[in-house]
Amino acid sequence: MLATIVVAFAATSVSASPARPLSIRVVGNHFVNGQGRTIRLIGVNRSTFEYVCSSGYGLYEGPVGNTAIAAMKRWNINVVRIPLNEACWLGLPTVKPRYRGRVYRNAVIGFVRRLHAAGLYTILDLHWNAPGSQPADSQQFMADADHSPAFWSSVASTFRNDRAMLFDAYNEPRMLGWGCWRNGCTTPDGRRAAGMQELVNAIRATGAKQPIMLGGLGGAIALYGWLAARPRDPARALVASFHSYNFAGCSSEECWNASVLPVAQKVPVVTGEMTEDDCGHAYIDTYMAWADAHGISYLGWTWNPWDCASAHGMILDWNGTPNSVGIGLRDHLATLADEGAIGP
């Protein structure tokens, strides 16, 4: 059974670029950099490493080199979130050999190093997974007990010394209650889910002390019970992850004030994904203004030249030309940069 597979490989320790050292840590309900300055994470997602490898046609789609990163930087971002696939990282046999294991890990490591060299923080996110011998070709109810703890043990060991990184434990938990979210349980399809406490334990057992993002229920939408359910963390560096869409619940200021703000008053909140499906930017404009007022971080979904309505892309091409949604994010970040509100 795949649940009993032990994945062996030579660990590679990855650190932030010495040319421009970056560092981020949690202090109270905010982040600080290496100089002790309060910062927010403002940026974009770069979707590719979660789906291409498991689809069987490559390691990634679109450019991930320095020219592409320079285009991203022109939007005045300071962070990139990278969704990952646990089967590709662990080298499970559900993935073609040429797209799994060491070759996949090296591709991710190389991208992270280039982002850091460009002065950008990174977030690694467990996005696609699957239990047992199922292919990891989609999101599940929650992280799976079969592979996800091993995934985080490996990822955290690899990046243990990288002080410019955060870990997003599971993209969009869909469990029915906070007990399952924290401690794990059997999912509606009969599989054993790993709870957030088990994932935090797997990360911390490696000695990694990076901030860990934990998304709320209902697809990282509901944070109303997050504070009471949060796991124990010896590093005291847990971060609440919230996803903000005009079509997915908690899409009004009333809900943000009731569900998100109480959490943001206690721990950092990162809006790991943010967009709208009407190919406009009125919704994200409203959300960013609210988040700015409360010190909340946010990242646009996604830096990919995809349809703005159905696939939620924010660019028209890899040069970074914004589409009708992305122009709202790009222009808002330009304003923040002019005000000196975005920094490393």
Question: Would you say residue 4 lies in a domain?
Answer: no
Residue 63's CATH number? 3.20.20.80
Question: Would you say residue 43 lies in a domain?
Answer: yes
Maximum CA extent, the chain: 55
pLDDT the model gives residue 175? 76
pLDDT the model gives residue 8? 39
CB 90 within 8 A of CB 7: yes
Overall number of domains in the chain: 1
Question: Would you say residue 1 lies in a domain?
Answer: no
Closest CA relative to residue 239, chosen from 49, 44, 41, 84: 41
The amino acid that residue 255 corresponds to is C
pLDDT the model gives residue 343? 84
pLDDT the model gives residue 20? 55
pLDDT the model gives residue 19? 52
pLDDT the model gives residue 18? 44
- The list of the chain residues with pLDDT below 50 reads 1-11, 17-18
- Specify the DSSP element, H or E, that contains 126: strand 121-128
* Single pTM value for the model: 0.95
Buried b (16+ CB within 10 A) or exposed e, 299-318: bbbbbbbbebeeebbbbeeb
Residues of the domain holding 197: 9-338
